[in-house]
Amino acid sequence: MAKKPPNAISSEDRLIARHFVPLASHAGALKLTDDAAMFTPPAGHDLVVTADAIVGGVHFFPDDPADAIARKALRVNLSDLAAKGATPAGFVVSLALPRSAGEPWLKRFARGLGADAEHFSCPLLGGDTVRTPGPLMVSVTAFGTLPSGAMVRRAGARVGDHVLVTGTIGDAALGLRLRQDPKSSRRWNIPGAALRHLERRYLLPEPRNALAFAVRKYATAAMDVSDGLAGDLGKLCRVSGVAAMLDVARVPLSSSAKAVLKADGKLITTILSGGDDYEIVCTVRPARLAAFMAAGRAVGVPVTDIGRVVRGAGASFCQPDGKVLSFARPSFSHF
C-alpha cells in the first residue's frame, strides 16, 4: 500500500463529499465537515423528533431502485412529523452499506434523497456511513418544529369525536402482497394500471405533510398509519382511554383496492391491518369537522370520516351486516 500523508482525504470522506454534501444545504450542517450539526428551533417553538429505520428484505426489496429506497426512508419519518402537526426542519441519516452498493447505486440513492429533502423542505443535517456485511439499512432521525405545546398526540381523543383518515387504506399492503406473490395478480384479475398503482403505493409512501397545519389546528389526537389502520387506531384508543366504532364500508379504498376486494373479499383484513399506508388517522370534535374537511380540500388531501370515538376500549370495525370484524393480527409487527 502506498504511504499517504496524514492529511490525505479518506475514502469515506470522499464518498460523503461527493454524494451527501450537496444535500446539506442547512447552515447548521456545517457542510458535513464536523462531528455534529447545529439546529435550533425558532423562539416559542418545540422540536419534534422521530426515528424510523428501514432494512433491505424487511421494509423494502433489495432490488428496489436506490432513489425509491432513499425516499421511502425519509418519507416514513416525514409521515410521523405530519401526523404530529409539525413542519419538517431537517434530518440525519445513518446508512449501513453492503459492498454491493457501489458508486452508481450511491449516486442514485443521494439523488432520490436530495429530491425529497428539497420537495419537503427538510434538509440533510448530518449522519454516518458505515459498512455492513448484512443488508442495506437506512436509519433516519427527522426533526420538525411547531409552536410550543402544539404537538398533536395519540392521547387526546374524546368521546363523540369523529375519526378521520387521509387518502386510501390498504393499497400498500396489497402492493406488498403482489411483490411477494406475483401470482396474486392472476387470481385478482385486475387491470395492469391497478396493479402498478398498488405496487407504487408500497414502493413510495406519500406522506401527508400538506395537512400538518390542519391536524395541528383541528385534531384532538392523531398518528400516522404505518402498522395497519386497525392496530394503529387501537393504539390511539388505548393511550386516549377511549374506544372507536368504525364503519368498514366507509374506509376509503382506491379503485384498485376495490377491484381486488371484489375478487377476494377476505382481503379486507389485509387492507385494514397490513400497514405501510403512511396516511394520517385523527380525531376531530363534531363542531370542527366541517372546517377540517374544508382544510383537507384546500390542500388537496382527501379526508374521510370513518366513525366515532365512544366509551370503552379498542377499535372495532363494523361490517355492513352489523358484525364486528376480527383480525388474526390487527397490527403489523416484526416481533
Q: Within positions 251 to 310, which residues make up the interface with a copy of itself, using CB under 8 A?
A: 273
- Between CA 84 and CA 162 the distance in angstroms is 18
Q: Does 133 bind a copy of itself (CB under 8 A)?
A: yes
Q: Within positions 184 to 203, which residues make up the interface with a copy of itself, using CB under 8 A?
A: none
- From the list 82, 46, 41, 78, the residue with the least C-alpha distance to 216 is 82
Contact criterion met (CB below 8 Å) for 105 and 66? yes
| Residue from 115, 129, 196, 247 in contact with a copy of itself (CB under 8 A) | 129
Binding window for a copy of itself (CB under 8 A); candidates: 114-122, 143-151, 282-290, 291-299: 143-151
Binding window for a copy of itself (CB under 8 A); candidates: 8-16, 114-122, 178-186, 284-292: 8-16
Binding window for a copy of itself (CB under 8 A); candidates: 9-17, 157-165, 209-217, 254-262: 9-17
- ∠ Cα 53 48 307 (to 5°): 85
- ∠ Cα 78 317 177 (to 5°): 55
| Residue 96 CB partners (closer than 8 Å, separation 6+) | 130, 131, 132, 134, 136, 137, 138, 139
Question: For residue 147, what is the enclosing H or E element?
Answer: strand 137-147
Binding window for a copy of itself (CB under 8 A); candidates: 141-149, 197-205, 207-215, 249-257: 141-149
| Residue from 112, 175, 234, 307 in contact with a copy of itself (CB under 8 A) | 234
- Between CA 152 and CA 291 the distance in angstroms is 17
Tell me how many residues contact a copy of itself (CB under 8 A): 97
Nearer to a copy of itself, 254 or 316 (CB): 316
| Residue from 54, 172, 195, 306 in contact with a copy of itself (CB under 8 A) | 54
CA pseudo-torsion sign 150, 142, 226, 174: positive
- From the list 82, 77, 84, 89, the residue with the least C-alpha distance to 42 is 89
| Residue from 154, 162, 177, 216 in contact with a copy of itself (CB under 8 A) | 154
Q: Does 318 bind a copy of itself (CB under 8 A)?
A: no
SS3 158: coil
Q: Does 55 bind a copy of itself (CB under 8 A)?
A: yes
Take residue 259 and report the three cell numbers written for it: 377491484
Binding window for a copy of itself (CB under 8 A); candidates: 137-145, 157-165, 168-176, 187-195: 137-145
| Residue from 235, 258, 285, 288 in contact with a copy of itself (CB under 8 A) | 235
Kindly state the smallest distance separating residue 112's Cβ from a copy of itself, in Å: 19
